Amino acid sequence: MTILDVSPGVFRAARPRHYVMAPPTHFAVTYEINPWMDASRGVDRALAHRQWDALRQTYLSLGHRVEVLDAVPGLPDMVFAANGGTVIGGTAVLAQFKFAQRADEALAHRAWMTAAGHRPIPTTGVNEGQGDLLTVGSMILAGTGFRTDRHSHAEIAAITGLPVISLQLVDPRFYHLDVALAVLDDHTIAYFPAAFAPESRLLLAELFPGAIEVGEADALALGLNAVSDGRHVVLPAAATGFAARLRDAGFAPIAIDLSELIKGGGSVKCCTLEVHP
């Protein structure tokens, strides 16, 4: 099913998507590997689960397919399923996590990928899946600087056969590409320019002249950690300025409150691995 809609001067089409999610059954902040995490602060796991489930229900109500992985005890960050790998055109690149605390998540991702009929290919260098590797049309935007190694970008280009554009992240609060940049459709992105090195900003401006540039308040609300089907953009509720910009551009923003999961440093997109056809 393709939902078509025409707003004045703008044409936005939704495409049904296939997502993989993992419930926050064992979610906790027991270590600190990004500036958002504070292990001295507790999390409300029941609330995290309700918020996560509202996200899942939103995808289902939009007509998307959602596969749910079994949560694994001892892997409190597994709810951030986007980091498990990148699947595009039947090719699955398996994550290679930077920190030992998350390494075993790759085993769980390898299992579902294999069961889905893929032959997951690991990289030799660190790659944190769709945290740093975002597909736009038929190219991959790839972040580096905090997690994914730059030389993994070349490996991923070789594995997928797709052009990979390397982008340098410079602000530790925006340690993954998917907290600094959102893909809205096959040609459109939104991003927070200050999260990128000058040469990467130039590159983005050249590649995406129609991009939405988001301000710091929305970026700090993790507003760019959004998931779009080309028309509906599911994003953190606190990013109200970005939601207004999306509406002006003809998208349909859908606000979701994932306040418990932000304690781990992630939101909507982090919880969502997209299987690209």
Binding site for ligand ARG (CB under 6 A): 33-34, 37, 77, 80, 82-83, 102, 131, 176, 178-179, 264-266, 270
Least distance from C-beta 207 to ligand ARG, angstroms?
22
The active-site residue, picked from 176, 187, 232, 271, is 176
Q: What is the CB neighbour count within 10 angstroms for residue 178?
A: 31
Q: 122: buried, middle or exposed (CB in 10 Å: 19+, 13-18, 0-12)?
A: middle
The active-site residue, picked from 109, 118, 270, 271, is 270
Structure-token match 């590797």, residue found: 133
Q: Is position 151 annotated as part of the catalytic site?
A: no
Q: Is position 270 annotated as part of the catalytic site?
A: yes
CB closer to ligand ARG, 23 vs 266:
266
CB closer to ligand ARG, 12 vs 263:
263
Q: Is residue 194 a contact partner of residue 218, using CB atoms and an 8 Å limit?
A: no
CB closer to ligand ARG, 58 vs 130:
130
What's the rounded Cα separation, in Å, for the pair 260 and 262? 5
CB closer to ligand ARG, 105 vs 185:
105
Least distance from C-beta 11 to ligand ARG, angstroms?
30
List, by residue number, the catalytic residues. 176, 270
